[in-house]
Amino acid sequence: MIRIREPEDLKKDTIPFEIKEYLSKYLQTILQNYGCNSLERIGCIYYLETTEDTFHYSKMGLSHSLLETPFEYCECISIKSSHGESNLLHGCYVFNNDYAIDFFGQDSIFDQQTLSTLRRNDFNVS
């Protein structure tokens, strides 16, 4: 599990290139919108690397497991680049107007029951 609060945190070699590129743009958008250099005061982004990471909810600031806590916002993102292709699950918990935690992980690290729970509030926009 990689905790991302500033661009420096994305220098980990374990994040696939196409995902790192996507997360970098996502992080920069948030930082620009809030006029800050770090997510420290407004939240955090977690990149979950393994199935085991999905069970360490307390390290992510949650009091219940992902299986017990559907995301307030959830989407599946297909990322294609010359470096590869990834299907990424993006979920978000909004705690108040000024604090949210985003989770990203390749959909393959989540078991079917957890995916079903997390997507409970999923919706499609046409």
115 pLDDT exceeds 80? no
- CB-count exposure of residue 32 (10 Å: 0-12, 13-18, 19+): exposed
Residue-level pLDDT at 30 = 95
Residue-level pLDDT at 126 = 33
Which secondary structure element, helix H or strand E, spans residue 29, and what is its range? Answer: helix 17-34
Per residue in 34-59, pLDDT tens? 999 999 999 999 999 999 998 888 88
User: Phi, psi at residue 80, to the nearest 5°?
Assistant: -120, 135
The mean predicted confidence, pLDDT, of the chain is 87
Q: What is the mean pLDDT of residues 78-101?
A: 88
Bigger pLDDT: 126 or 70? 70
Q: Which residues pair with 79 in a beta bridge?
A: 86
